[in-house]
Structure 1
């Protein structure tokens, strides 16, 4: 799944890869919009959202990941405003299911899924959704074929073009391949190596696109954090370190904070970096040709430029790849490999 084409944007060579069976070529480094138009706990800022989206698009990004619950639908609505007149040039992937309260498998009914899809159609102001992902549903959902048959019907009805899943665990991603999915969104980074062991090959065999999420392990792989770093009250890196609000694996990729700081420092030292770790962390993910796109977030235009430029960095050497694996085995594998 080599890059399909190149584009020159502001001196950056933007690379694109085929997004599985969708036949759409997506930017290798794209944009996740969890924080679009806001920071942790801050009110939504429409101007900030539009500026962020414009900076991404101008940098060559053509894939945007969102969800119906991001800022209570405001992320989708901001994207709707931005993509007017650009629908044939961009690909928007949204997620549904987390509106359920409680978020339990029994809530994934045909009526609820259809309702969520129709609400996203309204928010995004499109006739059909490019891609819909079930938003980290409980594990039993993957063993309920009727859920996926509902998505098949919505596809036949012309309301969605493609569908897939966003997962917490590798086993869920593997099970999802039993269905007619187009994409899997999965946590994959230097602290989450297990997806590459077997799942990536399985997905490639079925021509399923892979979206790599949480690429910087909630910032640990930026290399900027220390044991003294603090996070705001409304920031999940403060209140969800042990899975108090949602799956622990969403925060720091499930890595204990002090351990993650130590591992990131060792990566920086052993890789011999005279630059920030974050671009290398993104480039590492793109070493896997099964990955279609990686979706770091951004709240400033300069962050987007740095993120996109990461794809232009030299490929990792065999020695560098071995260093990443060694640090993972030393600090991260137990217990992360066995939980997710």
Structure 2
């Protein structure tokens, strides 16, 4: 497993991490503690050290499963979570952006994760209006001083949000998280340039485009009503077939290719795909060694 410095921080992260939205139950499957333990234990064996989660992947459900899985080797992990929303049900959330609400979310996340500090605490897909809240960032800086947060980040809700990216230094954020994959290249236009100029780490979420770039799904594929992908544009699967035919080298696994494709961009530090099982994890980890360009 290869590792890269996460922007201007002192954190060296594996280029392939673990995304955990699926642990919250919105991807057509409920995960047991044993399944999460197995995935994270194997990830550690493979040299993966970054886990990305959020307060609203279930009502702190994903965090709770992770916390129980890593409580005996917490220091081996770089743990990233997010703030700003409260989960009520499948694709049902309310915004909680006041400083008081966010500090309560932080305490709840620390409790669920069974830890006394979070390595990367990320503003989660909020509008520019709620971003421009000095009280919020002042409260978070106090939590850094208290040792409960090591670094702040911004998880962009819009892939071309240059305003929040350019303001990273102003709010003491060191990392940008953004959707980036072969089907969605919007960050390349301006956001990545800003990240490189400011020496910000970049976490690329949805690097497999919700699994579409795995090569497993064909046009007309049907997803269950409790599967987030049922809301996605199925026309993208036609483009995936074309990409596989024209761009993926013969004999190369498409999912591994898609992850390596993201990692070849100089701005990207780490990709954070989600895994349903250990086999998917093991396959994705091999992308770290795949040289495409």
TM-score normalised to structure 2 length: 0.90
Match of 1:84 in 2: 71
Q: Deviations over 1:270-296 (max 9, x none)?
A: 124334321111001001122111001
Alignment partner, residue 269 of structure 1: 245
1:132 aligns with 2:158: no
Q: Displacement, 1:234?
A: 0.5
CA–CA distance in 1 between the matches of 2:203 and 2:291? Answer: 21
Q: Name 1:326's counterpart in structure 2.
A: none
Query: 1:181 matched to which residue of 2?
Result: 173
Native 8 Å contact 1:37 1:48 kept in 2: no
Write the mapping of 1:1-340 to structure 2, written as runs, cut at 5 A. 14-36=1-23, 40-99=27-86, 103-104=94-95, 107-169=96-158, 170-171=160-161, 172-177=163-168, 178-238=170-230, 240-241=231-232, 256-258=233-235, 260-271=236-247, 272-316=249-293
Gaps of 5+ in 1: 1-13, 242-255, 317-340
SS of corresponding position for 2:122: strand
Question: Structure 2: where are the runs of 5+ without partners?
Answer: none
SS in 2 for 1:103: strand
Q: Is the 8 A contact 1:148 1:179 kept in 2?
A: yes
Report if the CA contact (8 A) 2:15-2:263 is conserved: yes
SS in 2 for 1:155: helix
Give the deviation of 1:175 after TM superposition. 4.3
How many angstroms apart in 2 are the aligned matches of 1:43 and 1:218? 17
Determine the C-alpha separation between the residues in 2 that align with 1:75 and 1:237. 19
Shift of 1:100: 7.1
**Higher helix proportion, which one?**
1
Deviation by residue 1:43-62 (Cα, 9 ceiling, x = unmatched): 44111111111111111110
- Is the 8 Å Cα contact of residues 37 and 299 (structure 1) preserved in structure 2? no
Checking the alignment, whether the CA contact within 8 Å between 2:54 and 2:81 is kept in structure 1 is yes
Task: Name the CA distance, whole Å, in 1 between partners of 2:138 and 2:213.
Answer: 39
Q: Which runs of 4+ in 1 moved over 6 A?
A: none
Deviates more, 1:45-54 or 1:221-230: 221-230
| Alignment root-mean-square deviation, CA | 2.0
